[in-house]
């Protein structure tokens, strides 16, 4: 379903370690291999703190992996510098998880949304007013908001400003880190209609981090599930609920609050202690919380193996080298 010649960006064996208190080491991303395909969306889901933002930040040069590379047009982009990096940046834009911290509080919204366009000489100063208005209206904000400061807006309004700014450059790749989590479902729907429409017209590649499974599966071509720094399952976006098979992916699905759920049911969260990235056990990262954990899971780390085209899982239950 995905053609290898359409791979636009590929992460190879990407690992990120952070030094931690007491001379210890924190592994935020552990040997990650992922592909982003031209014009397609990769949805990334997983437990809070499992390394999703850390991974996406490599793609926009906010951080560098300790090991591994990210290949784009034959080059490892994590090593770009100077002129080349500046040129490249306009092709990959990111919408951050905390939009309020990524804005200069002293700048008006007009200047914030037009800044990248001016930086790359795409518009003249005289066009700023008109362009700002257009961009704001595109994300369902009144054009007059151009005169406001970020702190005079609601959380969801600021988030939409960040989206407008990232879309302004019409980049080849957009990374959205929980870019719609502060929006009501109705505005969220409008935004995703807009984004998917632009994606089809301009063949944009998207990396989208999101906690809402129903939402992310509504527009992702592939979905990757991450746990404690590891990618544990990658699958086609449609039918996630039916085809996912990693025990962690299944636990995620069970924890969804749905409007059709049984409201008298007591919440039964995933058992076991939350895992620590300071203390990644040998073997499977999910071993302590998995009710199917066997001896091999404590010894050997399962690697991603293909189950069907586009569907890979890292779990000994599905291992081809013999059953558990």
Residue 259 has φ and ψ, to the nearest 5°, of -75, -10
Residues 117-136 that bind another protein (CB under 8 A): none
User: Which of 34, 95, 135, 187 lies at the binding interface for another protein (CB under 8 A)?
Assistant: 187
Decide if residue 275 touches another protein (CB under 8 A). Answer: yes
Q: Compute the distance between CA of residue 317 and CA of residue 324 in angstroms, rounded to an integer.
A: 6
- Residue 106 interacting with another protein (CB under 8 A): no
Say if CB 28 and CB 68 are below 8 A apart.
Answer: no
Task: Report the 10 Å Cβ neighbour count for 251.
Answer: 18
Q: Do 241 and 210 touch, CB atoms closer than 8 A?
A: no
- Give me the residues paired with residue 152 across strands: none
Number of residues that this document lists for the chain: 324
Q: Which of 155, 272, 274, 282 contacts Mg ion by CB under 5 A? A: 155
Applying CB under 8 A, which of residues 11, 117, 176, 183 lies at the interface with another protein? 183
Residues that bind ligand ATP (CB under 6 A): 18, 26, 28, 46, 48-54, 97, 151-157, 182, 277
278 binds another protein (CB under 8 A): yes
Q: Report in angstroms how near the CB of residue 309 gets to Mg ion at its nearest.
A: 30
Distances in whole angstroms, Cα of residue 135 to Cα of each of 112, 156, 197, 271, 300 = 11, 16, 15, 45, 51
274 interface partner picked from Mg ion, another protein, ligand ATP, none, CB below 5 to 8 A per type:
another protein
In sequence order, which residues have a C-beta less than 8 Å from that of residue 48 and are 6 or more positions away? 211
Residues of this chain, 220-249, that bind another protein according to CB under 8 A: 220-221, 237-242
Is the Cβ–Cβ distance between 129 and 109 less than 8 Å? no
Report residue 265 as tokens.
């049911």
With binding defined as CB under 8 A, does residue 2 bind another protein? no
227 exposed, middle or buried (CB, 10 Å; 0-12, 13-18, 19+)?
buried
Q: Which of residues 78-107 bind Mg ion (CB under 5 A)?
A: 97
Rounded least distance, CB 209 to Mg ion, Å: 6
- Residue 184, interface with Mg ion (CB under 5 A)? no
322 binds, among another protein, Mg ion, ligand ATP, none (CB under 5 to 8 A by kind): none
Among 30, 41, 93, 230, binds another protein (CB under 8 A): 41
Q: Considering the complex, what minimum distance in angstroms separates the CB of residue 215 from ligand ATP?
A: 15
Question: Between residues 102 and 127, which has the closer beta carbon with respect to Mg ion?
Answer: 102
* Nearer to ligand ATP among residue 130 and residue 276 (C-beta): 276
Nearest to 58 by CA among 84, 92, 24, 86: 92
Which helix (H) or strand (E) segment holds residue 162: the answer is helix 155-168
Among 65, 277, 283, 285, binds another protein (CB under 8 A): 277
Q: For residue 56, what is the enclosing H or E element?
A: helix 52-59
Residues found near Mg ion in the complex (CB under 5 A): 53, 97, 154-155
């Amino acid at each position: 379903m995905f053609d290898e010649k359409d791979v636009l960006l590929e992460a190879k064996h990407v690992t990120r370690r952070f030094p931690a208190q007491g001379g210890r080491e924190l592994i935020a991303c552990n040997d990650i291999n992922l592909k982003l395909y031209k014009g397609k969306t990769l949805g990334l889901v997983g437990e809070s703190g499992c390394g999703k933002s850390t991974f996406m930040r490599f793609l926009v040069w906010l951080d560098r992996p300790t090991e591994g590379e990210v290949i784009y047009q034959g080059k490892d982009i994590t090593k770009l510098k100077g002129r080349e990096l500046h040129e490249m940046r306009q092709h990959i834009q990111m919408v951050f998880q905390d939009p309020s911290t990524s804005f200069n509080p002293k700048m008006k919204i007009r200047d914030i949304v037009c800044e990248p366009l001016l930086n790359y000489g795409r518009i003249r100063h005289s066009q700023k007013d008109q362009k700002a208005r257009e961009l704001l209206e595109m994300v369902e904000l009144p054009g007059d908001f151009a005169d406001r400061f970020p702190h005079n807006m609601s959380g969801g309004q600021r988030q939409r400003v960040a989206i407008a700014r990232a879309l302004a450059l019409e980049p080849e790749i957009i990374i959205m880190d929980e870019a719609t989590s502060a929006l009501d479902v109705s505005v969220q729907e409008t935004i995703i209609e807009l984004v998917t429409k632009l994606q089809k017209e301009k063949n944009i590649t998207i990396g989208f981090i999101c906690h809402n499974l129903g939402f992310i599966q509504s527009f992702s071509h592939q979905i990757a599930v991450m746990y404690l720094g590891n990618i544990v399952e990658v699958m086609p976006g449609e039918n996630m609920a039916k085809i996912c098979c990693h025990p962690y992916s299944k636990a995620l699905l069970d924890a969804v609050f749905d409007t059709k759920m049984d409201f008298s049911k007591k919440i039964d969260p995933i058992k076991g202690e939350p895992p620590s990235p300071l203390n990644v056990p040998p073997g499977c990262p999910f071993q302590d919380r998995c009710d199917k954990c066997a001896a091999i899971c404590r010894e050997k780390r399962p690697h991603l193996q293909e189950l069907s085209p586009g569907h890979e899982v890292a779990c000994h239950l599905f291992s081809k080298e013999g059953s558990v």
